Structure 1
Amino acid sequence: MTPSSQPPRSKTRPAGAGTKPARVASGGPKANRAPARAAATPPRQPRRTKPVRLGMGHPRRRARFLMVAVLFIFSLLAAQMFRIQGIDAATVAQQAYESRVAKVTTPAARGSIVSDDGTALAVTVERRNVTADATATAQYGNNNGVRTDAALRNAAEKIAPIVQADPNALYATLVKANAANSQFVYLVKDISPAQWKQINALGIPGIYSETVMKREYPQGTSVAPLVGWVNAAGVGSGGVEAMENKLLNGTPGVHVFERDAYGQPIATGESKDTPATPGESVKLTIDNDLQWYASNAIAAEVKKYNADDGSVVVLDLNGHIKAAASYPSFDNNNIGAATGNLNSLPFTQAYEPGSTSKLVTFSALLQEGTTTPTSQFTVPNRLQRGTKTLQDSHNHATLSLTSAGIVAESSNIGTVLAGEQMDPATMYSYMKKFGYGASTGVGFPGESGGLLANYSKWDAAQRYTVLYGQGLSTTLLQQASVAQTIANKGVRTPLSLIAGTSTDGQTWTAPQDSRTPTRVVSEQVAQEMTTMMEGVVDDKNGTAPSAKVAGYNVAGKTGTADRYSVIAHGYRGHVASFVGFAPVDNPQYIVAVMVDNPKSGSIFGGDIAAPVFSQIMGYALHRGGAPLDTTKPTLFPTTWDHKTESDD
């Protein structure tokens, strides 16, 4: 191939250093070859050296960086130390102190409730709950600090006999808590301080006690609805406990102490106590023995007659409530198991009293001079008034009764014939004076004032039925107050339940009371009413000879009322009652008894309530040593001779 036939190079190197000369075509004579270098190659210029750059990986650069970082960190530490020790020294010290200080609330003892002679009705006792730090208890007996189930088993078996508990149950509680790394679990609740002392002496790590105050009621069911109970938070939730909760509650204290990292008190650390202030104690007017007796008596009668419930009130002449019992009752030591109505029925249950209310009607009539004890009335078997046909508790021929006879035989028709002589407004005013339509002012929680419509709202039938205690309602306490007014020579004395309060249980301060006694009827009218009430227990003409008390003259009044049923939206069943006082010449006690809806045997107050009155009154008088009466009562005539009067 000739040079001309060789394909041209696409690129040619520039002349100069490193450029090779073109080769001579092969096959030509050697002499004719071009020289190896057409010209001398100029010398290379030396390459300029760049400065060495030090990267982060270079030791000198790394050393500088570390030095700056260390200096920066030390400057931060210095600034922080200056702030802590200089500027914020007090604040930081306080924070450190608070981090190791524990505050434990010391519960305050709730004040006691006692009867008139100091018998405990409600008291607060100290109890202990045992708690455990299972992570510490699991090291019991292990010097190497290792947690084992065997240590928990050992602790459970030592504690169980002291608290009469199942060791397996205690063990299971500890194991579960330890597995969860729990430092707090309740192991046993409600043990005595003496039991805790024995447990503490075992020296088991992680076992602590929590002081709690427990309310106890030594008298149990006999006084439970009256005294009431406290809830889980220690707040009075019924009866006197709720009524006087503010006084009974104390002020909790605080125990402050320093503790180590394991929660244990530091022996040389600061300890400070703000003692708890106990609540005040409350003394009631209640006679505990009489309360117990009344509670048992009414319970037996309710059961005997298969009644829904029953109540008893006992007052003294000064209006002090000596007993307020009701059945069914409950155990306020175990309030969680209590069922039914937990209220004190003498205060809270309003019912239509029936014939015991005739005491108000005839007191008003006598006071206004409308009738006298011997006023004469012809009493038919039926009487039409308004849209209602009135009748007595039993059918009878036309009777010739005096006012005293109407009360003794408890004639509804006779009461209407006498009462309709007085205008409704005046009769209403006497009902109000005797306390109808308003609570007694005792202050008992949930106390009812009964129902008494204004006379202007009485319908055609009610204008007459209220005269014999239907179409209005009262509590048993209000009925007892009516009898107390008559026994107290016509003066209505405010009823009271609280005798006094005390901070030391020794000196008692009577509560302030702005209520004052009020005269309702004259002493003469009260005496006439008393004599008429004596006729009620007369063997010959009265409706309640079973109310008699051997050795004492008794004055009283029966009640047998139609019972209004909320469920039936009308009248269904009856209410049997009796209210009275003795001895007549020097009254010591007023007793009121009510049995609600008796369903077996009799329905009459003279048969059901009067015997309970006799039992309770007899017990009270004999126990109190009341002198026996030596004279028989002189009664008003209860009937009149119609023929003789006509001839005259």
Structure 2
Amino acid sequence: MLRLGNPRRRIGIGLMAMTFVLSIFAGRLVQLQGLDSKVYTAEAAKQRVQGEKLPARRGSITDVNGHELALTLEAREVFVDPSEVSADQRDRVATILAKELGTPKEPIAAKLAQSTSRYQQLAAAVDPVLAQRIMAYDLKGVGSKHRYRRDYPGGDLAGTLLGFVGTDGTGLAGLESTYDKLLAGSDGEQVIETGARGQRIPMTRSTVRAPVEGRDVRLTIDRDVQWAAQKAIGEQVRATGARTGSAIVMDVRTGRVIAMANAPELDLRNWMDSPGADRVNRSVTDVFEPGSTNKVITAAAALESGAVRPESLFTVADEIRCADRVLKDSHPHPTERLTFSGIVATSSNVGTILATQKIGDEKLHSMLQRFGFGAKPGTGLPGEEAGLLPDWKSWSGSQRCTISYGQGVSVTALQTASVYQTIANGGVRVTPQIVAGTTGENGAFTPSPPGKRTRVVGERTAREVATMLEAAVSEEGTGNLAAIDGYRVAGKTGTAMRYDTRCQGYCGYTATFVGFAPADKPRLVVLAVLQDPQEGHYGGEIAAPVFKKVMTFALKSGKIPPTGTRPSPVRIRAGE
């Protein structure tokens, strides 16, 4: 007899099993919707909510007249979502993109092969027209974003002064680095909700924080004078086979730098291809022994002390013993009687030493300090050096002589130009200035405060030194190649032995000329310096012509007329 099972028992077991399973589901639902709901909501938002940076436009750097030296242009970033590009289309897409972007095909193909990636950058900043042409191919997975790119219209114009930015738009060198925070502004952000394929979900939240544009920086540089200075120093560096060169133009009354040129100069559009040594502003970073241009400080110290007058006579041989060394004059000559003015005009080393002996080491050291030696000029430019000024108590027997004519101390080109600005300005030093001002958030221009004014020597001393420097540019002086028709010019040559780490000693020369015009009513200072020239090495021969070219252009550009006066006669030798 067939015995059937108890259905109630089977139903009970089934209900118990279902209850158990449903309790597991219920517990899981409680966990998901109750205990862990915030966690999963956040995870879902991460996948759905996308933030995008809205880049700020970087401010411009302009010359004193508002001409843009560095500016920001519209650009596009080109990218690809490799997961959207099918394997059979990768070669075609890579070929098209390589052709349009002008880059090798292989790196693009490698990025397309990363099929698990959702984003690969192909170009950081291309012209909008090019991006539009690429998008016209309607390549699946390829897109573009709004970006900016930095441009330098002048190419290498003031290259090492301006500096450059990296691929992320951050200032890396020069003024681009110094004023990076001001120029950069602050990026904004846009937040949207997207679907699985990156499409925006309609009617969902969208928040935008607008970017704050960077501010502009206006320099004291005059674009035209900068061009003339770069051209003149660059041509002379090439003509003489010099290693490097610098040229500076300054406004006598304000201390403003009108031009700061270096050779070789940095091409800002291809800065990554240049050696590191060519990316620094040599006018403020390279230190050298100034040579005879330093004699103006010795002259000022001697006159200021009252120990010497311009007409004071000295018996000058062509050599002199200092401690254990016999030092030669700047040029061979029979023993002669020179006035102190004649010593400066003919750039006599021996005569300068004789004058220094009347004032002593401490007073000379003090005067060097007052003219700014051993201290940074104060422009705030990156890499600005203070040079080297040994304490007078540590001077050796021969150093007590050589420092008087510029060997044994070191300076930068800007420090040397500042010395002559002080003499030309009646003995008042004005801290050199390179930034004229900046724009504020409302676009209004805010000028920089004027440079600090410091009385270094008396007005009479400055005037007497200026007269000596004018004689140095006369037919009897060493700087006659710097003379400019119709203008009174004052200046000084400098030819110094050059210390070089390559030879671990003195090898080669530094040739310099620095001066101002019009001599009786000074407006501009111009300096030209060449390092290690191979064709000639005297400052009066190879640096003075650069001074003449640059000063002539700057005077005409600034519409500075001749004064129409004639220089006072200066007695060079006894009996004249």
Distance 1:157 1:427, change over 3 A: closer
How far 1:526 sits from its partner (Å)? Answer: 1.1
**Distance of 1:365 and 1:216 partners within structure 2:** 51
**Distance of 1:392 and 1:383 partners within structure 2:** 8
Determine helix, strand or coil for the equivalent of 1:334. helix
**Which runs of structure 2 are paired with 1:66-215 in the superposition (5 Å)?**
66-82=14-30, 84-85=32-33, 92-138=40-86, 149=88, 163=100, 165=102, 169=105, 173=108, 177=112, 180-200=115-135, 203-215=138-150
**Distance of 1:430 and 1:354 partners within structure 2:** 16
Q: Note the alpha carbon deviations across 1:360-409, whole angstroms, 9 max, x for none.
A: 00011111111111110010121101111111122110011101100110
Q: Note the alpha carbon deviations across 1:413-459, whole angstroms, 9 max, x for none.
A: 00000111002111111110000110111111111111000101111
**Residue type of the partner of 2:78?**
V
Match of 1:571 in 2: 506
Check if 1:622 corresponds to 2:553.
no
**Distance of 1:296 and 1:60 partners within structure 2:** 107
How far 1:599 sits from its partner (Å)? Answer: 1.1
Determine helix, strand or coil for the equivalent of 1:221. coil
- C-alpha contact (below 8 Å) 1:287/1:323 kept by paired residues: yes
Check if 1:250 corresponds to 2:198.
no
Distance 1:61 1:176, change over 3 A: farther
How far 1:537 sits from its partner (Å)? Answer: 0.8
Match of 1:310 in 2: 245
- C-alpha contact (below 8 Å) 1:534/1:635 kept by paired residues: no
Determine helix, strand or coil for the equivalent of 2:446. coil
Distance 1:62 1:327, change over 3 A: farther
Match of 1:459 in 2: 396
**Distance of 1:178 and 1:575 partners within structure 2:** 58
Match of 1:607 in 2: 541
- C-alpha contact (below 8 Å) 2:98/2:105 kept by paired residues: no
Distance 1:405 1:191, change over 3 A: same
Q: Note the alpha carbon deviations across 1:333-357, whole angstroms, 9 max, x for none.
A: 2222011332111101110000000
Larger radius of gyration: 1
- C-alpha contact (below 8 Å) 1:228/1:242 kept by paired residues: yes
How far 1:234 sits from its partner (Å)? Answer: 2.8
How far 1:105 sits from its partner (Å)? Answer: 1.8
- C-alpha contact (below 8 Å) 1:310/1:596 kept by paired residues: yes
Name stretches of at least 5 consecutive residues in structure 2 with no aligned partner. none
Match of 1:327 in 2: 263
Q: Note the alpha carbon deviations across 1:591-632, whole angstroms, 9 max, x for none.
A: 0110111112x2111101101000000001112111123222
Match of 1:296 in 2: 231
- C-alpha contact (below 8 Å) 2:440/2:446 kept by paired residues: no
Distance 1:60 1:184, change over 3 A: farther
How far 1:570 sits from its partner (Å)? Answer: 1.6
**Residue type of the partner of 1:285?**
T
Which of 309, 332, 338 is residue 395 of structure 1 equivalent to? Answer: 332
**Distance of 1:570 and 1:169 partners within structure 2:** 51
Name stretches of at least 5 consecutive residues in structure 1 with no aligned partner. 1-51, 139-147
- C-alpha contact (below 8 Å) 1:531/1:635 kept by paired residues: no
Determine helix, strand or coil for the equivalent of 1:612. helix
How far 1:525 sits from its partner (Å)? Answer: 1.2
**Residue type of the partner of 2:192?**
F
**Distance of 1:333 and 1:428 partners within structure 2:** 45
- C-alpha contact (below 8 Å) 1:532/1:635 kept by paired residues: no
Moved more, 573-582 or 96-105: 96-105
How far 1:188 sits from its partner (Å)? Answer: 4.7
Match of 2:375 in 1: 438
**Distance of 1:114 and 1:137 partners within structure 2:** 45
How far 1:216 sits from its partner (Å)? Answer: 1.7
Distance 1:175 1:546, change over 3 A: closer
**Residue type of the partner of 1:529?**
V
How far 1:187 sits from its partner (Å)? Answer: 4.3
Q: Which has the higher contact order (CA 8 A, sep 6+)?
A: 2
How far 1:80 sits from its partner (Å)? Answer: 4.0
How far 1:111 sits from its partner (Å)? Answer: 2.0
**Residue type of the partner of 2:439?**
S
Distance 1:62 1:345, change over 3 A: farther
**Distance of 1:585 and 1:348 partners within structure 2:** 32
Which of 328, 332, 354 is residue 417 of structure 1 equivalent to? Answer: 354
Which of 482, 486, 497 is residue 434 of structure 2 equivalent to? Answer: 497
**Which runs of structure 2 are paired with 1:503-522 in the superposition (5 Å)?**
503=440, 506-511=443-448, 516-522=452-458
**Distance of 2:442 and 2:244 partners within structure 1:** 36
Which of 471, 474, 478 is residue 535 of structure 1 equivalent to? Answer: 471
Match of 1:598 in 2: 533
Distance 1:504 1:230, change over 3 A: same
**Distance of 1:500 and 1:566 partners within structure 2:** 39
How far 1:210 sits from its partner (Å)? Answer: 3.4
**Distance of 2:377 and 2:10 partners within structure 1:** 95
**Distance of 1:179 and 1:468 partners within structure 2:** 68
Which of 285, 291, 294 is residue 348 of structure 1 equivalent to? Answer: 285
Normalising by structure 2, report the TM-score: 0.92
Check if 1:261 corresponds to 2:196.
yes
Match of 1:375 in 2: 312
**Distance of 1:214 and 1:294 partners within structure 2:** 28
